[in-house]
Chain A
Amino acid sequence: MKLLLVEDDAPLAAEIAKALRGENFALDHAANGEDAQHLGETETYDAVVLDLGLPKRDGLSVLQAWRAAGRTVPVLVLTARDGWSDKVAGFKAGADDFLVKPFRVEELVIRLRALVRRATAHGASRVTCGPLTYESGLGTFERDGLPLKLTGLEWRVLSCLILHKDGVMPRGQLIERVYDGDADVDSNSVEVIITRLRRKIAPARIEGVRGHGYRLLPGEPT
């Protein structure tokens, strides 16, 4: 899963980025409103963490611009203002969730995973595909009730596939959502990751759709 982090305060941005990468999220960072708006309109993200007090362009107007342009990406607003009026204004501008500074990493991560899951039309916090279960609150996978050990990249690919299990995930989109700037793409190509995943999740399987992308299926082909 890939996020856009919009935060102008460099130390805070660094801490958030470190914490989110530690939770297997891929991450892009924008430090001002103009960059944020550009990235949000051109790239594909599973969710956005948006600070409201931004240089060049206010966070709320960036959010309104995205919504006006038809971008439905879930947005979690970060703000120092904890008045309900500020929150109401944020939700009216199109925010999906709100977090007041200071906050705990756990809360941010839980809320982000829930946002991504709900955005892909999964109401319950557990998403199941055959023997595989994704617990979005904890961000963990189980196979037949046993915890599944995954690397960060494997987690990104599998969470992406299970949340979009009802359709084919295009390869380009998958790549966009898996890698961020500092990943070693060559030794960890999507094909390599998929191969490793297939071994770990059997009997569930990942079907390659030629010329298009990948699809997660619950069991053996019939």
Chain B
Amino acid sequence: MNRTEPPAGRPGTAGHGPPAKPESPAKPERPDRPVPPPKPIGVLHLGSLQRRLLLAALALVTVALLVAGLAIGLVLHRFVRAQLDSRLDSQLVALASSLERGPGDRLRLDRALDGPPFDRPHSGWYWQVRQGGSTLRSESLEGESLEARSLRLPDPPAMGGPTQDGAEPAPLPRNRDPDRPQPGDGTGPWGEALILRIQVLPARGGTPPVVLVASAPAQALNGPLREAGLTLAAILGILGLCLVAGTVLQVRLGLRPLERLRRDIAEVRAGRRPRIPGQQPAEIRPLVSEVNALLDQNATNLERARTHVANLAHGLKTPLATLSLALSDRTRDPDGRLAELVGAMDRQVRHHLRRARAAALGGATRTRTELAGPLADLRTTFGRLYAEKHLAIALDLPAGLAVACDPQDIDEMLGNLIDNACQWSHGRVRVSAAATEAGIAVTVADDGPGLDAEAAERAVRPGGRLDESVPGHGFGLSITRELAELYGGGLRLTRSDLGGLSAQLLLPP
């Protein structure tokens, strides 16, 4: 199974001759063989155009909405963070401006700065000032130190150096602008997540630098963000649904001409139109003109095939006729065997010419033909052909009744049936037609001897020939059945109310 082919395409050289032989019929891929078209992979290659377009639109909308959501979230985050930062920064500015030296060189504030929310214990809103060993902190810290827990603020002179417990201190961001506070994250004395602003006032006149820290709870950032995020997601979701609905509508509208084209082609196939009408969207027009060209070509081919068959008929039958007449002289054909051969040849030629005609039909072009015209012509024809029998051929059909068949094929099918009826009739033949649920039913009834069920079955068998003795007849019923089936119809033989055979031909409306 996992056998790899030699890449250079030299299958013979790798192994010894005999063992390779049994595998050669399997024909593994060879570089010189035509490459089959790539197998359809994934949902985009599924059968439906509509599904294809919808899936593509859905994917694009999803990606676009996700990107938009992330971008808006980022902007919101920066906005809320900037709000918090400016609040903390103003606290830092207030602290820096109110610092003063108290007794014993201890730091103190010249006024109280613990306005809300810095006065609420455990709130996350803290501040702390430290210089060397002395520290000032907000009431909310309740004596705890900001660096006593996980947040470690390094001694400004030893920035980056190890602290007492040996752990790495949280690195302070590099201060590009010493006058501006720097951002940071940390954890408060009670484990709460904090957002920090840190400002270092540089050393001055022998005094060590002062580190000012103000903090806000991370909740103050995340709470509003989560709330805004939910609203944003809802809005984006609705937007997405609207976009998808719009796409569905667009696809439906866009594909509607295809459905109309399908109906037009069905009309052509049913013979109600000769060609597909030209007023179509610009994208479909080339397709329509191609299909029309194909229809024309089919019609031309059909015509050519028929001409060819007719020429062949003429070319073969004239010599056959001469031969047949020449053999009617008994001295040339004393026992009649040669005449029999001519008869057999004639039957073969006739049979295959009719087959060729039926094959040339192929269900390609269908025109809508009113039955009244061909039936009237056929009545005249059979009136003269069977003038000796003085037949009464009655026609009974509603005006305007039409079938989707080529006129020549109608002549062929009905001609065979009426000929058969006239041949066996004692005087009356009736041709009636009516529209039924299954199609147009044309019934040819006669008052002749009729057929029993077994003979009827034999008569419509392919190539069936009921009466071998009457020249020129016999293939008629089976040829008619074959033609009718090419049109999706059929032929049924029953007993007629006139007493003889009733042949019911079913044709597409």
Contacts and interface: CB of A to CB of B under 8 A. Distances in A.
Contacts of A16: 325
Interface in A47-91: 53, 78, 80-85, 87-88, 91
Contacts of A103: 321, 324
Contacts of A19: 325, 328
A12 B384 contact: no
Nearest to B471: A104
Scoring B318, B380, B384, B390 by chain A CB atoms within 10 A of each residue's CB, the highest score goes to B318
A85 B412 contact: yes
Interface stretch (A32-40, A92-100, A156-164, A193-201): A92-100
Contact of B323 (A18, A85, A102, A125): A102
A45 B273 CA distance: 48
A102 to B, nearest CB: 4
A185 interface: no
A15 B326 contact: yes
A141 to B, nearest CB: 20
Nearest to A95: B384
B388 interface: yes
A192 interface: no
A97 B314 contact: no
A5 interface: no
B346 interface: yes
A88 B381 contact: yes
Contact of B322 (A11, A85, A100): A11
Nearest to A13: B322
Given A114-B387, A114-B388, A88 B325 contact: no
B377 interface: yes
B381 A83 contact: no
A118 interface: yes
Given A85-B411, A114-B388, A53 B321 contact: no
A125 B322 CA distance: 29
Scoring B346, B390, B407, B416 by chain A CB atoms within 10 A of each residue's CB, the highest score goes to B346
B342 interface: yes
Given A12-B318, A15-B326, A102-B321, A83 B411 contact: yes
Scoring B317, B357, B411 by chain A CB atoms within 10 A of each residue's CB, the highest score goes to B317
| Tier of interface size on chain A | 35 or more
B313 interface: yes
Interface string B289-329: 00000000000000000000010011111111111111010
B310 A84 contact: no
Interface in A80-137: 80-85, 87-88, 91-92, 95-98, 100-107, 114, 118, 123, 125
Contacts of B374: 88
Interface string B144-168: 0000000000000000000000000
Given A96-B384, A105-B328, A83 B317 contact: no
A166 interface: no
B268 to A, nearest CB: 23
B136 interface: no
6 contacts: A18-B325, A80-B317, A81-B314, A82-B350, A91-B381, A125-B388
A9 interface: yes
Interface in A4-46: 9, 11-12, 15-16, 18-19
B378 interface: yes
Nearest to B339: A104
Interface of A: 9, 11-12, 15-16, 18-19, 53, 78, 80-85, 87-88, 91-92, 95-98, 100-107, 114, 118, 123, 125
A56 to B, nearest CB: 16
Interface string B347-361: 000100100010000
B345 to A, nearest CB: 9
A104 B329 CA distance: 11
A78 B324 CA distance: 14
B385 interface: yes
B384 A97 contact: yes
A78 B317 CA distance: 11
Scoring B314, B350, B390 by chain A CB atoms within 10 A of each residue's CB, the highest score goes to B314
Contacts of B325: 12, 15-16, 18-19, 102, 105
A100 B385 CA distance: 12
Contacts of B217: none
A102 B344 CA distance: 11
Contacts of A102: 317, 320-321, 323-325, 342, 346
Nearest to B385: A98
B412 A84 contact: yes
B334 interface: no
Contacts of B384: 91, 95-98
B322 A87 contact: no
A95 B380 CA distance: 11
Nearest to B325: A15
B415 interface: yes
B13 interface: no
Contacts of B390: 123
B133 to A, nearest CB: 123
Contact of B377 (A53, A82, A92, A114): A92
B313 A82 contact: yes
A97 B384 CA distance: 6
A108 to B, nearest CB: 9
A127 B74 CA distance: 117
Scoring B321, B380, B381 by chain A CB atoms within 10 A of each residue's CB, the highest score goes to B321
A9 B320 CA distance: 12
A98 B346 CA distance: 17
A104 B343 CA distance: 10
Contacts of B412: 83-85
Interface string B72-115: 00000000000000000000000000000000000000000000
B408 interface: yes
A96 B387 CA distance: 9
Contacts of A88: 374, 377-378, 380-381, 411, 415
B381 A80 contact: no
B171 interface: no
Given A91-B380, A98-B385, A102-B325, 20 more contacts: A12-B318, A12-B321, A12-B322, A15-B326, A18-B325, A82-B472, A83-B411, A83-B412, A84-B411, A87-B415, A88-B381, A91-B381, A98-B381, A98-B384, A100-B472, A101-B317, A101-B321, A103-B321, A105-B328, A106-B328
